[in-house]
Amino acid sequence: MTTLLVNCYLRDAEEKMPHYRRLCTGHSYEVREVTARELRPGFDLAGISAVVITGSQWMLAQEPPPAGLVGFCRSLTIPTLGICFGHQLLASSFGATVARGERFLEFDERVELLEDWPLFRGLGGETVMRESHREFVTPESLSLIGWQLGARSDSCPVEAIRHPDLPLYGVQFHPERSGEPGVRLVGNFFTTIAEA
């Protein structure tokens, strides 16, 4: 299995990316890393089994993504996991609204799992994950575009989403920085979704 790991960081990628690489390497024969700016509709996904889109310092409520990146996201049909910014990017590419919160959130938080998705297998009805974001997908806009809501928390009404027909998932929290629950969630993505 080859995973396309999309590095969306605007700075400090050398500090952030090792967490993602570790999680992906454990489940992939190969990890092919690209930057978000390289992506466009028609990007060659031959031989790619899964896509993981990272977090970023990019604030979508203030600066929309380039049309090429939106087109790439809208063209995805293979298993994809968007994390934090990647989650927001997937939702906004399909028409959801990303809003700016009052403050930056940086803490571990209890996340309520609302659905019995394969992504959440073995996590029970709730788990603790690392929050590190200021922006979030609004629940009203998620409903309007027809995506499903799978988790929420006290600080964020949209913690996990999925496309109704395609294997596209997003999580607002950071599983790569959440210890064992995060490892399990990413493992579920690869073993129950990407390898299915």
CA 168 to chain centre: 9
Spatial distance between the Cα atoms of 115 and 125, rounded to a whole number of angstroms:
8
46, burial (CB in 10 Å: exposed 0-12, middle 13-18, buried 19+): exposed
Orientation angle between helical segments 13-25 and 179-188, nearest 10 degrees: 60
Catalytic residue among 27, 87, 133, 174: 174
Closest CA to 191 of 118, 126, 128, 122: 118
Q: Is 14 considered catalytic here?
A: no
Closest CA to 173 of 86, 114, 96: 86
What residues are paired with 175 via a beta bridge? none
User: DSSP string spanning 106-120?
Assistant: EEEEEEEE-S--GGG
Q: Is 174 considered catalytic here?
A: yes
At position 180, the amino acid (one-letter code) is E
Catalytic residue among 24, 73, 84, 156: 84
Q: Which residues are catalytic?
A: 84, 174, 176
